[in-house]
Amino acid sequence: MQALPTALFSAQQTQEIDRLIINQYGIPGGTLMCRAASAALDCLQQIWPKAERILVICGAGNNGGDGYDLATQAFQKGLKVNVIELTPPSENKPDAFQARQSWLATGQQPMTFDGSLPATDVIVDALFGTGLDREVSGDYLDVINAVNAQNAADVMSIDIPSGLSANTGKVLGHAIRADATISFLGLNLGLFTGQGPHYSGKVYFDDLNAPADVYTDIPSIAQRATFQAMAPLLSPRQKTAHKGHFGHLLIIGGNQGMSGAARIAAEAGARTGAGLISVATHPQHASWLNCERPELMVKAIHASDDLKAPAKLASVLCLGPGLV
């Protein structure tokens, strides 16, 4: 399995990456779908090597196509596979329709959802991809609730847990709670923001052998903060350095009766290397806020004009802890 990239993309950007690979680099959508299914199955078998029974739940889009292809490949490897489909074949996108035909060619038939799930070791969620922008309803809602209600099988989501916004990590009514999620081509922001981490489980990634040049045309909208990326910023300090060399952090917060948030934020600043830390806060607790942390400089704020002087001295402002 590949290392997680740090670049994060919106749903629209990953869809554009997919389009560019197909149209500009001549890699058919069906080929990408087959690669995605292979990567997902390999990931599943590495995580759960003893799994013998797989249930794949497919939607109508390309996410469902990934699911059909995964089912076909798993069946060809000798696993016991069931497929539940929630839409008629006429609603499948072209590549997903072809993937469904490949599944039928094995001699197997998809099942309809009757309110219950067959016994299985792993459930593969291939209902919705990254384009979902509405609340889940109908049979989709029922099957999501059924997956979440069971505790006998592990759950892997393809691309993103169905029901989760790929842009914000917001749950669109209800969402699959996955133990693992495998993402392709580009990691979506919603996997790591909002409720994404709670619903996605451990995130895995595969670039499907996409041309590296495709990413130069679509810059990421955010970066994951990793220790490896941040470590160079924490280089050893010179022995002759003093606090004046490492910036001045100003915390503005701590309304009446809410001093704790400002104090915690100030201590966090000290622990992470800020040279000077000032706290502009309510007069009620300004006199004792630094009793156990004398390195904090505290100023009582009676009116907004009182902020002008400390703000001019600060190199970083933190506004809000304990204000409301």
* Buried-state track 224-258, b at ≥16 Cβ within 10 A, e below 16: beeeeeeeeeeeeeeeeeeeeeeebbbbbbbbeeb
Q: Are 256 and 246 in contact (CB under 8 A)?
A: no
State pLDDT tens for residues 122-177: 999 999 989 888 999 999 999 999 999 999 999 999 999 999 999 999 999 999 99
- pLDDT of res. 296: 93
Which residues, including other chains, have CB under 8 Å from residue 281's CB and lie 6 or more apart?
Answer: 251, 252, 253, 254, 259, 262, 289, 298, 299, 300, 301
- pLDDT of res. 108: 93
- pLDDT of res. 227: 86
Domains along the chain? 7-228 (3.40.50.10260), 236-319 (3.40.50.2000)
- pLDDT of res. 236: 85
- pLDDT of res. 275: 92
pLDDT in tens, the chain (324 residues): 789 999 999 999 999 999 999 999 999 999 999 999 999 999 999 999 999 999 999 998 999 999 999 999 999 999 999 999 998 888 888 999 999 999 999 999 999 999 999 999 999 999 998 988 899 999 999 999 999 999 999 999 999 999 999 999 999 999 999 999 999 999 999 999 999 999 999 999 999 999 999 998 899 999 998 888 888 877 888 899 999 999 999 999 999 999 999 999 999 999 988 999 999 999 999 899 998 889 999 999 999 999 999 999 999 999 999 988
- pLDDT of res. 158: 97
Nearest to 269 by CA among 318, 202, 236: 318
